[in-house]
Amino acid sequence: MDVITVPLCMARVINATGVVLHTGLGRAVLPASVQKAMQDASGYVLLEVDQESGERGERIAPFSNLISTVTGAHAGLAVNNNAAAVLLALSALVAPGKVVIAHSHLVEIGGSFRLPEVFAQSGCQFVAVGAANIVRLEDYIEGLKQGAVAIFVAHHSNFWFQGEHEEPSLAELVCLAKNAGVPLLYDLGTGAMLDLSRWGIDVGMTVGGAVEMGADLVCFSGDKLFGGPQAGIVVGRKDLIDKLLHHPLYRSLRLGKNMLAGLCAMLEIYRAGEEKALVEIPTLAMLVEPSDKIKARVERLMMLLPLDITAQCRVAETTSKPGGGTLPQVELPGWAVAVRPQRINLRELAHRLRMGDPSVWGRLSGKDLWLDMRTVANGEVEELAGVLSKAIS
């Protein structure tokens, strides 16, 4: 009888691809305090009760309070992912009415999230205005005249414009929405909380920035630049958030106790300030890590390899990517070990590494397999050396 080997459910991976938010490998690496909070919430917890009165409470209340403090919004909620957040917002606030959106904002974020289809699924209609590259305020005004009851703005997460491109600023659209008496819904997607321009990384609009500018609702992913567990987070006006919470879909999309605990722990880190966030949130720490620190890990890996293997490896400069459909223009300069195996071919080496314990994922390029050390933690270097030595010998 054949022995069927069943892969371990979600075996651990060393991500040497250099893609910080690798969707295939689980996007954000969670901070230690978040992992602990999620584990601590595994037994009985104060989930939907009020400790003082003993009455039934609302599970989202602690999260809502914390996210309001951190982002400056009036209220907030969280659901399973950002796709769910957008679906919920459209279902609760627009359907069966119309929403106005620029043609240039009708985006697709990874196969199954295509805005026109999400609109259809939520039961709302849309009025697409402007041209593929250019949309003006007058176009939105025209769309509103056709009976739209909301303005929808989608962040260009996974692509950028080159050449002729124009659109009204968020401030202009907020002003238009206010005058027309309709809400402005902003799908910010990537959900950057901090401005990283000091490190040469342009994250575009931050969550706090969008709230401050007056977007009525802002939704974003928990596991992209926010750096937490998979979730969709919505912040904004309290009356709108309440409508979302009272919509029947919310019940189908709501989060469990571990996830809520994890998100609250994330917000505690952000509340403690930028400095702490940049150290404790691995996604952010990896994005801003200076390349000499990465080079030190490359050199340590080389030192740990047996001599005959070192001969097949070279230290090389490389660029890593934020990934996860975020910041497509950003390239982060760093260092990698480029491996050129002599006894086996490249594909065989990649296969052996993937089948290792832990499973190691690198990047094939030309005649080499690149192990980008930006996304490999200090504590993983020794293990990586072990898996590589075994695979190549």
Q: Which residues bind ligand PLP (CB under 6 A)?
A: 81-83, 109, 113, 154-155, 157, 187, 189-190, 221, 224, 232, 325
| Least separation in angstroms between CB 292 and ligand PLP | 32
- Taking CB positions, which residue lies at the least distance from ligand PLP? 189
For residues 143 and 232, which CB has a smaller minimum distance to ligand PLP in the complex?
232
Q: Considering beta carbons, is residue 140 or 186 the nearer one to ligand PLP?
A: 186
Q: Which two tokens stand for residue 248?
A: 């029947």
For residue 273, how many C-alpha atoms fall within 13 Å in the half-sphere facing its CB? 2
CA distance 56 to 260: 17
CB-count burial class (<10 Å; 0-12, 13-18, 19+) for 117: exposed
Are 222 and 232 within 8 A, CB to CB? yes
Residue number, 192 or 301, with CB nearest to ligand PLP: 192
Q: Which is nearer to ligand PLP, 82 or 283 (CB)?
A: 82
> With contact defined as beta carbons under 8 Å apart, do 374 and 294 qualify?
yes
Nearer to ligand PLP, 187 or 383 (CB): 187
Helix (H/G/I), strand (E/B), else coil: 241: helix
Alpha carbon distance 320, 132 (integer Å): 30
**Cβ 142 to ligand PLP, closest distance in Å?**
24
- In the complex, minimum distance from the CB of residue 145 to ligand PLP, in angstroms, rounded to a whole number: 27
CB-based contacts of 178, cutoff 8 Å, min separation 6: 214
Beta bridge partners of 320: 332
> Which residue lies nearer to ligand PLP by CB, 27 or 374?
27
Q: Select 187 or 372, whichever has its Cβ closest to ligand PLP.
A: 187
**Least distance (Å) between residue 246 CB and ligand PLP:** 22
CB of 22 to ligand PLP, least distance (A): 13
Closest distance between ligand PLP and the C-beta of residue 100, in Å?
17
Q: Which tokens belong to 142?
A: 């025209």
20, 377 in Cβ contact below 8 A?
no
| Calpha distance 315→186 (Å, rounded) | 43
Q: Measured from the CB atom, is 130 or 325 closer to ligand PLP?
A: 325
Q: Is 201 left (phi over 0), alpha (psi -120 to 50) or beta?
A: beta
Q: Are 358 and 40 in contact (CB under 8 A)?
A: no
Q: Is 164 exposed, middle or buried (CB count within 10 Å of its CB: 0-12, 13-18, 19+)? A: exposed
- Taking the complex as a whole, the smallest distance from the CB of residue 274 to ligand PLP amounts, in Å, to 23
Question: In the complex with ligand PLP, which residue's Cβ is closer, 152 or 335?
Answer: 152
Q: Is 32 helix (H, G, I), strand (E, B) or coil?
A: helix
Shortest distance, position 187 Cβ to ligand PLP, whole Å: 5
Q: For the CB of residue 139, give the shortest distance to ligand PLP in the complex, in Å.
A: 20
Smallest distance from ligand PLP to CB 133, Å:
18
CA 210-215-216 angle, 5° bins: 140
Closest to 337 (Cα-Cα) out of 284, 381, 383, 273: 381
Closest to ligand PLP by CB, 17 vs 221, is: 221
CA dist 86 and 116 (Å) reads 12
